[in-house]
Amino acid sequence: MSLLSQEVPIELGERSYRIVIGGGLLGDSLTYGALPRANAALIVSNTTVAPLYSSTLKTALAGRYSRILEVHLPDGEEHKNWQSLQLIFDVLLEHGCDRKTVLFALGGGVVGDMTGFAAASYMRGVPFVQVPTTLLSQVDSSVGGKTGINHPLGKNMIGAFYQPLQVICDLDVLATLPAREFSAGLAEVIKYGPIADMDFFDWLERFMDDLLIHDGGALAHAVRRSCEIKAAVVGQDERESGLRAILNFGHTFGHAVEAGMGYGVWLHGEGVSVGMVMAAEMSCRLGLVDSVFVKRLVALIRRAGLPIRAPILDSADNAGRYLQLMRGDKKSEAGEIRFVVINRPGEAVVMSAPDALVREVIDTCCQ
Amino acid sequence: MSLLSQEVPIELGERSYRIVIGGGLLGDSLTYGALPRANAALIVSNTTVAPLYSSTLKTALAGRYSRILEVHLPDGEEHKNWQSLQLIFDVLLEHGCDRKTVLFALGGGVVGDMTGFAAASYMRGVPFVQVPTTLLSQVDSSVGGKTGINHPLGKNMIGAFYQPLQVICDLDVLATLPAREFSAGLAEVIKYGPIADMDFFDWLERFMDDLLIHDGGALAHAVRRSCEIKAAVVGQDERESGLRAILNFGHTFGHAVEAGMGYGVWLHGEGVSVGMVMAAEMSCRLGLVDSVFVKRLVALIRRAGLPIRAPILDSADNAGRYLQLMRGDKKSEAGEIRFVVINRPGEAVVMSAPDALVREVIDTCCQ
């Protein structure tokens, strides 16, 4: 393993694991030295990532597993469904894979979510390892144990909470990530500042330019600190009953943007970006933060190459359309929309808000 | 709740629950008094059981949930698949059911397994209640948390360990159970004697006739003691890593009979019955138990209306066919067949056995 790699321990009792962060990890057989022995491993990837990294991973694992199987799923959120999941089960069963078989998720969030759910469900649970290849999945999917697939009537509606054995964040693979997707990942990195750690926010203001040129040291710090903050939050609320909801800062408005524009038009991180701007605006109007804070957040988001203006979803009744979409979200309860607002910089709370205020925020941010 | 009902507490930390056993439970609203409040409940049943009991359950739940939805799955093991599972998700999503929705599994093992897996997976986990309507599901599926569906290449290959909020074993519903299915359930009841409790075995010898005429007191004791023994075993091994395997007494040979005859020709309990005879014969040949014990077991199984002779699966190489089927079982590891043998009456161990011995057992029991 690279001497420069860093580790984030995720403490979850008997389901504890480590996130390893650094350069050159994916192709180094030492990276996998602590994994349990098994007869077989299955690398799950997609048709975009597999040609870039699958053979490297396979070679690194070759000394450890006598049989290494592969399955390449079609790429894209629209394939995060039962049909793709079934491809994983088919390979496992056609090759008689037993309960010790280790699954490797090589790809972004979609591959990670599907592989995790397949691992949770195959023979009621087999071990799996995350090898996230996007910035978003490195800072977001590495912690939390959320796995699942979409249903025609809703995203991530079918799944499991299931923890990996290990997460390997190889920073070198980010070099092949399109700039737009890299920026989208930065949205989730920026998020951790306002909700939990303004020192990290200060750091991001100082080192945003280094991140944008993929400086290894800056990337390692950003990924590590994001994972640490998420781990601290999730560690207090593994099953998402309360506190964990603060991780959804920017997501209530953001999901409305994603859904309203049609999924895939705006990237998730882009929706979160304008969602954070809107949630900060709401916090300001509630008197919780001042306009200086809002301007700092907006400036940082813009520097990351992300949108700061919310789109018009309906020219006749734009705010009404936003409200309608937010009421239909999975996280709303009995039609009441839950917003994550900044209580003070570095601290978030979840609350509802009167429609009139929400409309003001939407009108301001969509101008 | 009926004053005569009994309870078996299942201690699993924060996932602990109670099995309630008695007559007249299903239609009594007090039975459900400890369940959490929610806006909606979904009764999952099948086309055979629903016409008998669904409206009774619905009426009993009416004061508790403002919306009570229903879905009736096609009946039979061949429908224990993704398509049926999807019917449950479709209803939940079409009606906008949130994370507090309570699922009720009203039926036998197939309905329980599918409803449990749907509950485990919908929004990554919603509460569910088991209302088993067969003797087999009352004594077997009530404890252990195994849920899942079949894959075209294997039974129960996709699923989760997931615990119910409560299990309600209404003994009155067994009156509508066909005699052959009632006997098949008795196979799993009898199983608990040789592996864990010879006092219970003695009791079964005394009261088998009462069980066969559905005497309420006898049924309550048989169901309660079966659940207690299973709970004691599972409590030490929730995730099936070792000890729990003794619950598979009779299942290694039994699964070969089921598969070899074509699924559905022999009921699961019938396969287990001859499987227990074969495993007892093996234990005797290993010098662990004497022939008196084997004869007692065979006699009790016969009295329960169950088969004691194993079928010929292949007239050319019968033992070879059994061995082939057992090597392909989910519980075999790297092709080594694991047998549950009786170490001494009331105590079981898991071990492998030389093929020559296995062939002798098959030849003896198939004569």
The structure's pTM equals 0.92
In this structure, the answer to whether residues A236 and A286 fall within a common structural domain is yes
Q: Which residue from A85, A71, A62, A73 is spatially nearest to A42, judged by alpha carbons?
A: A71
Q: Is residue B351 part of a domain?
A: yes
Among B123, B146, B333, select the one facing A157 at the smallest CB separation: B123
In this structure, the answer to whether residues B33 and B126 fall within a common structural domain is yes
Domain boundary among A176, A204, A229: A176
In this structure, the answer to whether residues B123 and B139 fall within a common structural domain is yes
- Helix or strand or coil: residue A222? helix
Strands A339-344, A166-170: pairing is unpaired
Q: Check CB contact under 8 Å for B124 and A161.
A: yes
In this structure, the answer to whether residues A127 and A273 fall within a common structural domain is no
The pLDDT value given to residue A241: 64
Among A89, A151, A240, select the one facing B158 at the smallest CB separation: A89
Residues on chain B bordering chain A, Cβ-to-Cβ distance under 8 angstroms: 39, 82, 86, 89-90, 93-94, 96, 98, 120-125, 146-148, 151, 153-154, 157-161, 239-240, 328, 330, 333-334
For residue A120, the chain B residues in CB contact (below 8 A) are 160
The pLDDT value given to residue B1: 42
Q: Is residue A218 part of a domain?
A: yes
Q: Is the pLDDT of residue A40 over 80?
A: yes
Number of Cβ pairs closer than 8 Å across A and B?
Answer: 71
Residues on chain A bordering chain B, Cβ-to-Cβ distance under 8 angstroms: 39, 82, 86, 89-90, 93-94, 96, 98, 120-125, 146-148, 151, 153-154, 157-161, 239-240, 328, 330, 333-334
Nearest CA in chain A to B119: A158
In this structure, the answer to whether residues A162 and A185 fall within a common structural domain is no
Rounded CA-CA distance A185/A336 in Å is 29
Q: Is residue A100 part of a domain?
A: yes
Among B120, B153, B239, select the one facing A160 at the smallest CB separation: B120
Name A130's Cβ contacts closer than 8 Å, sequence gap at least 6.
A105, A112, A115, A116, A137, A141, A142, A164, A166, A167, A168
Q: Is residue A63 part of a domain?
A: yes
Q: Check CB contact under 8 Å for A94 and B158.
A: no
- A116-150: pLDDT as tens digits: 999 999 999 999 999 999 999 999 888 989 999 99
Q: Check CB contact under 8 Å for B151 and A93.
A: yes
- A279-334: pLDDT as tens digits: 999 999 999 999 999 999 999 999 999 999 999 999 999 999 999 999 876 666 66
Q: Check CB contact under 8 Å for B160 and A157.
A: no
The residue among B66, B90, B121 with the most chain A CBs within 10 A of its CB, best to mutate, is: B121
Instruction: For residue A111, give the CATH number of its domain.
Output: 3.40.50.1970
What's the maximum distance between 2 C-alpha atoms anywhere in chain A?
A: 63
Domain boundary among B142, B176, B210: B176
For residue A90, the chain B residues in CB contact (below 8 A) are 153
Instruction: For residue A343, give the CATH number of its domain.
Output: 1.20.1090.10
For residue B159, the chain A residues in CB contact (below 8 A) are 121, 123-124
Q: Which residue from A275, A293, A174, A162 is spatially nearest to A223, judged by alpha carbons?
A: A174
The pLDDT value given to residue A332: 60
- Give me the domain span that covers residue B217: 179-365
Domain boundary among A125, A151, A176: A176
Q: Is residue B354 part of a domain?
A: yes
In this structure, the answer to whether residues B92 and B221 fall within a common structural domain is no
CA geometry: angle B315, B321, B323, nearest 5 deg: 145
Whether A27 and A59 have beta carbons less than 8 Å apart is answered as yes
Q: Check CB contact under 8 Å for A93 and B334.
A: no
Q: Is residue B1 part of a domain?
A: no
Amino acid of residue B114: M
Among B96, B124, B239, select the one facing A148 at the smallest CB separation: B124
Strands B128-132, B40-46: pairing is unpaired
Report the Cα B30 to chain-centroid distance in Å: 26
In this structure, the answer to whether residues A122 and A246 fall within a common structural domain is no
Q: Which residues of A are catalytic?
A: 124, 146, 188, 230, 240, 244, 248, 251, 255, 268
The pLDDT value given to residue B238: 65
In this structure, the answer to whether residues A76 and A203 fall within a common structural domain is no
In this structure, the answer to whether residues B228 and B243 fall within a common structural domain is yes
Q: Is residue B357 part of a domain?
A: yes
Q: Check CB contact under 8 Å for A120 and B160.
A: yes
What's the maximum distance between 2 C-alpha atoms anywhere in chain B?
A: 63
* Burial state string for A29-39 with b = 16 or more CB within 10 A and e = fewer than 16: eebbeebeebe
In this structure, the answer to whether residues A248 and A324 fall within a common structural domain is yes
- A210-268: pLDDT as tens digits: 999 999 999 999 999 999 999 999 888 766 667 889 999 999 999 999 999 987 899 99
Rounded CA-CA distance B75/B258 in Å is 19
Rounded CA-CA distance A108/A352 in Å is 32
Q: Is residue A1 part of a domain?
A: no
Residue A349, beta-bridge partner list: A341
- Cβ neighbours, 10 Å, residue B154: 16
The pLDDT value given to residue B234: 85
DSSP assignment of A262-304, as one string?
-BTTB-HHHHHHHHHHHHHHHHHHTTSS-HHHHHHHHHHHHHT
Rounded CA-CA distance B197/B90 in Å is 44
* Burial state string for B326-337 with b = 16 or more CB within 10 A and e = fewer than 16: beebebbeeeeb
Q: Is the pLDDT of residue B287 over 80?
A: yes
In this structure, the answer to whether residues A32 and A114 fall within a common structural domain is yes
Q: Indicate the number of domains in chain B.
A: 2
The percentage of chain A sitting over the pLDDT mark of 90, rounded to a whole number, equals 86
In this structure, the answer to whether residues A272 and A284 fall within a common structural domain is yes
For residue B90, the chain A residues in CB contact (below 8 A) are 153
